[in-house]
Amino acid sequence: MEATVDKTGTDGKTWGGGNRPLNASYGKLMMWFFIVSDALTFSGFIAAYGFSRFKFIDAWPIADEVFTHVPFLHGVPAPMYYVAFMTLVLIFSSVTMVLAVDAGHRMQKKKVIWYMFFTIIGGAIFVGSQAWEWATFIKGDYGAIETKGGKILQFLDTDGKRASVTDFAIPITSERGTHEESNGIWYDAEPETQTTVSYAEVLKGFEASPDLLIRSQELVPNMEKLRASENPKDIAEVARLEREFINLDKEGEKAIYSREVGLAKLKADGKLVVQGANLKHNEYGHPLFANFFFFITGFHGFHVFSGVVINIIIFFNVIIGTYEKRKSYEMVEKVGLYWHFVDLVWVFVFTFFYLV
Amino acid sequence: MGHDHKLEIFRGLWKFKSNVTKIWGVFFFLCVVTAVEVVLGIVKPESLVHGRFLAMKYLNWIFIILTLVKAYYITWDFMHMRDETKGLRRSVVWTAVFLICYLILILLIEGDYIYEVYKANYVKFNF
């Protein structure tokens, strides 16, 4: 008798591992495991975005005003179009991917190669577009003033359109010396980016152009309900709103200060000019919006990038005939699952950053 | 594995001759849904912006429902969930849907609560 048995007599039967209730290969199941956990990661990020948005609902930027650019159409406000294009590119690359999987099932190597190629191109276009979107967002367009309390004041002209700080600011000539390491013990390097105009110049320009107004970061509440209330706190709130704002009939929109109140706020609380967005300042509204935008689209963009790299590897494997020899194109199916997942995440990012 | 595809969508309303035509059909459908979203996002019809259901604008309900529709067809037809076994489908979808709903519910209620606290001046902004 030997000490170990190499056959249990149950091979192929249920208790010998012969039962495959999910009828999927090990590799595909593991990809699904990964996708579920990655989906939960993304949900965590997007739900955190929702949390911060609800917390600062007044100060949250209006997506339509943030993403209004299309390449080669400078100065033409076109909200949504470019991001709609990006969405279609990604969905289309998903289609070519699933066509590659389908061709793989039927062992058509040529077709798999071409469809994989188009998928990679689509992914590259998407990542490039995302980079362009970032660059535009970082650069900004109208500029705004940040107050000491960290709020954003945006400027409007008589038509209620946004006015650019660089257009109305009046230059003040001053000597701006550069502090150098050689002439100071306490030396701080200059910040890398300077705004094109200063707070004092914007204030001077605002004083000189009586048509300009300032938009606050408060949303106009339901005034009817508030006016009907007997609560002394609500009565005081109505009095304050009527004193400060001029567009109280537009429920749900950002409230606009009257000229006098706006000027007083700008003088008393204004601190610095913000142009564009980074992790600390954001001319469109609350800085957290920029943080989440960079983090979530960046994390998604990283997924797209790694998806493209993995697709390229599989693409070359298909070309050299690895899967032809293996007699199965299942590997294409597995990276396909990942690629569709990236598309799936984008569908949600698109909704929560650009639409809702 | 996966060679036999179910070739109908919309519960059998739209049948396809082959897997390839089904893929193009689903692509067409996704494009239409995206186009509707984009048009609504640009036009923002007055009636949909002001009406609310469960504290959310009608327009946002439409966006979120259309997003879930798109997610369904991407998962079911592009990721071949339609052709997988019931067990695989449920262990992926139910787990994720349950956890995500829970997370969203908790975080959004909490976020709104903090907003109200700020607004009611328990914490004062220096503005």
- Reported as a single tens digit per residue, the pLDDT across A118-138 is 999 999 999 999 999 999 999
Residues of A in contact with B103 (CB under 8 A): 43-44, 47
pLDDT digits 0-9 by tens, B6-35: 888 887 788 888 889 999 999 999 999 999
Name the residue facing B127 among A87, A149, A330 (closest C-beta): A149
pLDDT digits 0-9 by tens, B65-92: 999 999 999 999 999 999 899 999 999 9
Distance from CA of B54 to the nearest CA of A (A): 15
Name the residue facing A355 among B23, B37, B96 (closest C-beta): B37
Q: Residue A316 corresponds to which amino acid?
A: F
SS3 B45: coil
* Percentage of chain B exceeding pLDDT 90: 55
- Euclidean distance between CA atoms A145 and A152, whole angstroms: 6
Closest CA to A97 of A117, A74, A76: A117
Cβ contacts below 8 Å, chain A against chain B, sum to: 147
**Contact assignment for A55 to B114 by CB distance below 8 Å:** yes
Residues of A in contact with B122 (CB under 8 A): none
Domain spans in chain A, listed from the N-terminal domain onward = 24-140+289-355, 144-172+188-275
Nearest chain B residue to A270, by CA: B127
The reply to whether A303 touches chain B by the CB within 8 Å rule is no
Q: For residue A254, what are the β-bridge partners?
A: A219
Q: Which of B59, B107, B109, B115 to mutate to test the interface with A (most CBs of A within 10 A)?
A: B107
Residues of B in contact with A64 (CB under 8 A): 41
Report the DSSP pairing between strands A254-256 and B8-9: unpaired
Cβ atoms within 10 Å, residue A314: 24
pLDDT band at B122 (very low <50, low <70, confident <90, very high): low
SS3 A119: helix
The dihedrals phi and psi of A170, each to the nearest 5 degrees, come to -105, 120
Residues of A in contact with B107 (CB under 8 A): 47-48, 50-51
- Euclidean distance between CA atoms A155 and A167, whole angstroms: 11
More confident residue, A89 or B49: A89
**Two structure tokens written together for A331:** 């590997």
Asked whether the whole model's pTM tops 0.90, one would answer: no
- Euclidean distance between CA atoms B86 and A35, whole angstroms: 18
- Euclidean distance between CA atoms A134 and A115, whole angstroms: 29
**Contact assignment for B111 to A53 by CB distance below 8 Å:** yes
How far from chain centre, in Å, is Cα A264?
34
Contact B79, A352 (CB under 8 A): no
What are the angstrom distances between the C-alpha of B120 and each of A47, B108, B113, B115, B124?
24, 18, 11, 9, 9
Q: For residue A162, what are the β-bridge partners?
A: A156
Which H/E stretch holds residue A147? strand A144-147
Residue B127 has pLDDT above 50, yes or no: no
Residue B124 has pLDDT above 60, yes or no: no
Cβ atoms within 10 Å, residue B15: 12
Residue B125 has pLDDT above 60, yes or no: no
* Burial class of residue B29 (count of CB atoms within 10 Å of its CB; 0-12, 13-18, 19+): middle
Name the residue facing B85 among A23, A47, A151 (closest C-beta): A23
SS3 A73: strand
Residues of A in contact with B126 (CB under 8 A): 148-149
Residue B1 has pLDDT above 70, yes or no: no
Question: 């000597």: which residue's tokens?
Answer: A175
- Euclidean distance between CA atoms A25 and A329, whole angstroms: 13
CATH number, span A24-140+289-355: 1.20.120.80
pLDDT of the residue at A3: 64
Core vs surface per residue A55-69: b (16+ CB within 10 A) or e: bbebbbbebebbbbb
Q: Which residues of chain A have pLDDT under 70?
A: 1-8, 75, 175, 191-192
